[in-house]
Amino acid sequence: MYVLGSDDGHATVSRISSTGQLIWSYKLLTPSALTDAAVDPNGNLFVVGFTLPANNTNKSIFGRIYSVWGPYPTGHP
């Protein structure tokens, strides 16, 4: 399971095991919010959201966390 969240105004993505244990957590470096996520048949996680502040200067975010990274992400989604 994946959980989208926020830490001090920066979007986070966390992977949680079936027993509720944190496997990994990733924090975006840019002030941001993630609004949705989906997993494809290959296990890749896709996320969408936007940069902050949420006004006419913000930008859209689209990212992918590759399943080939194994249990821990090592790069930017």
Only one residue has tokens 């949705």, namely 36
pLDDT (tens digit per residue) in 49-70: 999 998 899 999 999 988 655 5
Task: Count other C-beta atoms under 10 Å from residue 3's C-beta.
Answer: 12
Burial of 48 (0-12, 13-18, 19+ CB in 10 A): middle
The residues near 15 (Cβ < 8 Å, ≥ 6 apart) are: 1, 2, 3, 22, 23, 24, 25, 71
pLDDT (tens digit per residue) in 13-59: 998 888 999 988 999 999 999 999 999 888 889 999 999 998 899 99
pTM of the complete model beyond 0.95: no
